[in-house]
Structure 1
Amino acid sequence: MPSEKILEQKKAVVAELSDRLKNSVAGVIVNYKGITVAEDTKLRKELREAGVKYTVVKNTLLKRACEEVGLDGLTPVLEDTTAIATSAEDYVAAARILCGFAEKNKKFEVKSGYLDGEVIDMDKIIGLSKLPSREVLLANVLGAFQAPIASFARAVQAIVDKQEAPAEAAAE
């Protein structure tokens, strides 16, 4: 039987994981077995820069946290080595980075994920990974809004130019 101190530490870890799962919009669970320290360091740096929190966790502790927040659908994949990446704001960052990493490193495997408190299948995770970043999507939307306005401005300028040309010819 573990000591009270160890039990309290484990309860604290489960509580922190539960809170993290509740307060994130998306998360991805991976099997990181077989990657080098250099690859792991590079992956962690990329995730950190994207605002994604990535940690290695014990399966039993993550299982308890998932059960507490209603993500029971994640528990069947909690085997072997497990790490979880969660994002509090960006829906696609974790999936995009981890799926891209998994394509380059065949030993690295994306196991499962969730979105807005619902477990999603691998097809949805792959679909999320193919979406552009939030900044690119916003730029596309702004470009779509700007295009009609710019066309209208060019049309008005062409009308003004046509009216000025006869006036200048008459003045000469």
Structure 2
Amino acid sequence: MQRLLAVTGLALALTAGLARAEEPSQALFAAARLACAYSQGMNAVFTPQGRVSLKPPLDPNTPGLTIAIVDRAKNRAVLEEDDLETPGVLMATPSSLSVMARYPDGGVTVVTVYPVHSGASDNFLMVSSRHGVGNEPQMSQRYGFCRPGVETPPPPPPPPPAPKGHS
């Protein structure tokens, strides 16, 4: 009997551990929006001689981005950065959720969010890589955190028109 209780206790502990391990991925893959913030990063540019020059680290206070999952069945998402909304392709695997977006200038950004919590928080680990174009190709890689975002409620309906009285 003691052996049965020990095996049952071990099975319950393993099941609880697996459930906790699955919780981050369930929350990540169920989210309709992810609000992301950068904690650090680096910019790089090619020199005229073809070398890569690293610029000073990015300011960690750089505004972040939001990932809006538009249509999971069609793998569509939108990267929202300030007032810029860029459609992208959603790619989800058991190990990550990524969005790849191409900007009108030809630049590309890939954002990958991992179903791994940062320490004791409920923030997911995130990396964003941008490959910009222009006179000189520019690259940046930023690291940070994402958390499920709250959908913005629609604005309230306008009040009904006031009844017109007779004067």
Shorter chain as denominator, the TM-score bin is: under 0.3
TM-score, normalised relative to structure 2: 0.28
Report 1 or 2 for greater relative contact order, CA contacts < 8 Å, sequence distance ≥ 6: 1
Between Structure 1 and Structure 2, whose CA radius of gyration is higher?
A: 1
Q: Give the strand-richer structure, 1 or 2.
A: 2
